[in-house]
Structure 1
Amino acid sequence: MAAAPEPGVHILVDGDACPVKEEIYKVARRYAVPVRVVTNSYYRVPAEPLITKVVVGAGFDEVDDWIAEAAGARSIVVTADILLADRCVKVGSVVLGPTGRPFDAASIGNAVATRALMADLRAMDQTSGGPPPFSKTDRSRFLSALDQAIVRLRRTIA
């Protein structure tokens, strides 16, 4: 049985294409950390008090805007969107990619630059394909990173 949630500590999920939602729910239950899955489409989330679905409009960047406005120093944000990660890092959030890759002040600048470079290469037809397939190793790395992020965040808040 999970402990009572700690005030303010929460997980915000960029939910439209997140491959690790079940892993997030599993870790959140263990630590009794509330989760908000933010999306601009309707789909099911577990009917549990700790898990909330937030559906925003379908406009460009509405999910990102909602998450960026809700994020703060007591937030763990899960996203593969580099520009959203950048916005959340700037307000002090802990930010993880779905593969467990952490984004922080030291790494986000390089990630934004790489994203821009890849966009330019795609525009010039100099690259094809996308990221490698999501693997069991990615899933495991994410579980470990989320677990560590919750523990670290709780220590800094205590």
Structure 2
Amino acid sequence: MLYTSLNVFVDADSCPVKEEISKVASMYGLTVHYVASYNHVGSLDKGSNWHIVDTGDQAVDYFILNKVRQRDIVITQDLSLAALVVSRGVYALTPRGNIINEGDSEEIFLRKYLRLQNQKQKKRVKGPSKLTKEDKKNFLVTFEKILSKIEGFS
């Protein structure tokens, strides 16, 4: 099945599942847009659709927000970006395979506010744990479930 009208946007600055995304994209004929600021770009995969943006604060997020359309998919670790795109009818998926829904937005922004308050007070906040093989497997399963849902099979 080819998904020619569907775009997948990847916040590629620190995306740990690029290989998995490429695998699914080739299986289903997806158009994937990898978006990264130029200071986070390593080697660009040939045959991939890369968009390199300025290093300005939130430049990748702004690019994705300006390009994404209803029913597209955004893959990002940035939960604030995910919360913004789901309000537009876009699917948001984290590299751990978690789907972000519109109902998650309030909690996401509250947590961001609290994290910023801690930073202002110079409190150290522990980051997320390292991505595991199980996380990557969960990502693949969830990504394919979203594609099935878009196509109307579930």
TM-score (norm 1): 0.86
Give the number of equivalent residue pairs.
151
The one-character-per-residue Cα deviations of 1:56-88 (angstroms, maximum 9, x if unpaired) are: 122221110010111121310001112211221
- The structure 1 segments of at least 4 consecutive aligned residues displaced by more than 3 Å after TM superposition are 125-128
By how many angstroms is 1:135 displaced?
Answer: 1.2
Partner SS, residue 44 of structure 2 = coil
- The answer to which structure has the higher helix fraction is 2
By how many angstroms is 1:127 displaced?
Answer: 4.2
Who is 1:134 aligned against? 131
Are 2:105 and 1:113 equivalent residues in the alignment? no
By how many angstroms is 1:126 displaced?
Answer: 4.2
Q: What amino acid maps onto 1:115 in structure 2?
A: K
By how many angstroms is 1:120 displaced?
Answer: 1.8
Are 2:95 and 1:98 equivalent residues in the alignment? yes
Taking the aligned partners of 2:3 and 2:147, their CA distance within structure 1 comes to 11
Taking the aligned partners of 1:63 and 1:155, their CA distance within structure 2 comes to 30
Taking the aligned partners of 1:8 and 1:142, their CA distance within structure 2 comes to 22
Q: Gapped runs of 5+ residues in structure 2?
A: none
**Cα pair 1:68 1:88 within 8 Å, conserved:** yes
By how many angstroms is 1:43 displaced?
Answer: 3.0
Who is 2:86 aligned against? 89
TM-score (norm 2): 0.88
Q: What amino acid maps onto 1:17 in structure 2?
A: S
Taking the aligned partners of 2:145 and 2:95, their CA distance within structure 1 comes to 14
**Cα pair 1:100 1:145 within 8 Å, conserved:** yes
Who is 1:150 aligned against? 147
Identical-residue share of aligned pairs (%): 26
Taking the aligned partners of 2:42 and 2:123, their CA distance within structure 1 comes to 36
Q: Gapped runs of 5+ residues in structure 1?
A: none
CA pair 60-126 structure 1, distance change in 2 beyond 3 A: closer
Who is 2:28 aligned against? 31
**Cα pair 1:14 1:79 within 8 Å, conserved:** yes
Segment drifting more, 119-128 vs 9-18: 119-128
**Cα pair 2:3 2:29 within 8 Å, conserved:** yes
